[in-house]
Amino acid sequence: MNLLDMNGPLMNALRKLANIFLCNVMFCLFSLPVFTVGAALSALFACMQAILTDDEDDVIVKQYFRAFRYNFAQATALWLICLMAFLFLGVYYLIVSGIGGVMGRVYRVSFFVMCILFLFGFQYLFPMQARYKNKLGDLLKNAWLLSIAALPWTVLSILLPVFAVYVTFFMDTDGVNAAVFLWGTMGFGLTAYLNSFFFFKAFRMIDPERMEVKSHRAPEEALFIDEEHRASEGWYQESSFSNPDWNRQVYPGNGKRK
């Protein structure tokens, strides 16, 4: 096999790495205003999911910008909610850290429990925003429900970036500049790309290919619901989760579903 074959595995891997690099740079640039981090994250995951499934555009920068623009409003609202949660957790920790005795230990345990619960749902917020088009309330609810339903993949998706941060920043404290360079060029994109493997495993729990179509209505006990579509005349999957594929995110101009 010719290693330089444009359709060969080597060139395909290099193409993916080049696209990850470009998306990583775009993510860093679009995150600079801070309040746009949510839209930048959603666009990053949209592109990483497309790269993973070989569904990316020839010009990945255009695809990133398109996803950023179409996710901007809701992803920004999600990010502001996350910032408020970060602020609450920070203030809560400052308060409970000064409490001693048994009650102090109880409050500190409650702090770590809240952090874990928040992190579980946070892992899925922006990947789901990139993949599905749901109302804000449904997205928040579905992210936390899916994080529990797909617990092994949730844990792995958390451990991966934690491990990456530890290796790059804490294993060699003298290599901070190199770590910043790595994250500025490939770190965010590569972590999002690898995490997309875990997210896709979780998404299979609610995507249609794993479910048999048996009913015109979503089951009343479904965990993943959207009232607008519950009673509509369309085929739904009979499952513990309702099928969200009716509103899979589609970015105009791409012609492909993410």
Listing DSSP states for 127-150 in one string gives HHHHHB---HHHHHHHHHHHHHHT
96 in any annotated domain: yes
Number of domains in the chain: 1
φ/ψ of residue 214, rounded to 5: -135, -10
158 in any annotated domain: yes
Residue with structure tokens 């998706």? 157
128 in any annotated domain: yes
pLDDT at 134: 85
* b/e per residue 153-168 (b: at least 16 CB within 10 A): bbebbbebbeebeeeb
20 in any annotated domain: yes
258 in any annotated domain: no
Element (H, E) at 15: helix 9-30
Residue 133's domain spans which residues? Answer: 9-247
257 in any annotated domain: no
Q: At what angle do helices 151-165 and 101-131 cross, to 10 degrees?
A: 100
pLDDT at 6: 64
Tens place of pLDDT per residue across the chain (258 aa) = 566 666 677 888 889 999 999 999 999 999 999 999 999 999 999 999 999 988 888 889 999 999 999 999 999 999 999 999 999 999 999 988 888 888 888 888 999 999 999 999 999 999 999 998 888 988 999 999 999 999 999 999 999 999 999 998 887 777 788 889 999 999 999 999 999 999 999 998 887 554 333 333 444 444 444 444 444 433 333 333 444 444 566 666 554 444
Nearest alpha-carbon partner for 194 in 14, 16, 7, 11: 16
51 in any annotated domain: yes
Please give the share of the chain, as a percent, with pLDDT higher than 90: 56
Summarised one tens digit per residue, pLDDT across range 9-24 is 788 888 999 999 999 9
Summarised one tens digit per residue, pLDDT across range 61-76 is 999 999 999 999 999 9
